[in-house]
Amino acid sequence: MADRLSAVLSGLMGFAFLALISCSPPVTTKPDVSSTAPQASIKEKAVKADGKGKPGKAAPESKAPTSLEALRRGEAPTGGPLKEIYFDFDKYDLRPDARTSLKANAGWLKGNPSAQVDVEGHADERGTNEYNLALGAKRAQAAKDYLVTLGVSAGRLSTKSYGEEVPVCREKTEECWKTNRRDRFVVKAGKPGL
């Protein structure tokens, strides 16, 4: 009986092996990078994306640096098309001025449907590193959740927390600390079809 079972299993394994090696690999296509055709400008790409021959809004072509990348380069994070929002001490609830800025940000995002955004949560230096990382995460999530209620797809938004690690101001004053209690919005390269 064992010999018969062994023979059947060997036959099945041989058949499976033959079936696997006779299958062709999946077909993948890559753009022809050797083409000598000129690259379309951002405006031309927007016209093509619109499909009506009218210039549309083009999504950003390259990823903006995160706050951490800018810090590593010795630069201050630059502002993009989306406004930063600010928080009260030890809070992650959205203030009225933050809601106003987020509504403007949602309008820009709706006008640029292929843009992807990292929502960076930041805190001032008071509190432990672990606490500030958690607070930054809650701040970023609060902004993301509000943008979603305004009609921005959650799949276009990601969150991260830098806690107190990437301050924009290093003085030990309340005026400085309140500039560090923020969410920053980094627009990444757009992806078609979103």
Tens digits of residue pLDDT in 130-189: 999 999 999 999 999 999 999 999 999 999 999 999 999 999 999 999 999 999 999 986
Using DSSP's 3-state secondary structure scheme, residue 182 falls into strand
Q: What CATH number is associated with residue 111? A: 3.30.1330.60
* Residue 101, domain extent: 60-72+81-188
- Residue 22 domain flag: no
- Residue 34 domain flag: no
Which stretch of 38-47, 86-95, 182-191 has the lowest confidence by average pLDDT?
38-47
- Residue 12 domain flag: no
Tell whether pTM > 0.75: no
User: Would the pLDDT of 44 be above 60?
Assistant: no
- Residue 159 domain flag: yes
Across the range 59-76, mean pLDDT stands at: 67
User: Would the pLDDT of 13 be above 80?
Assistant: no
Give the per-residue pLDDT at 60: 41
φ, ψ for residue 159, nearest 5 deg: -120, 150
Pairing of strands 157-163, 116-122: parallel
- Counting the structural domains of the chain, the total is 1
How far from 55 is each of 108, 129, 189, 194, CA to CA, in Å? 16, 47, 19, 19
Q: 188: which strand partners? A: 116
Using DSSP's 3-state secondary structure scheme, residue 85 falls into strand
- Residue 115 domain flag: yes
Give the per-residue pLDDT at 28: 30
Report the chain's mean pLDDT, rounded to a whole number. Answer: 75
- Residue 153 domain flag: yes
8 band by pLDDT with thresholds 50, 70 and 90: low
Please indicate whether residue 59 or residue 3 has the higher confidence score (pLDDT).
3
- Residue 54 domain flag: no
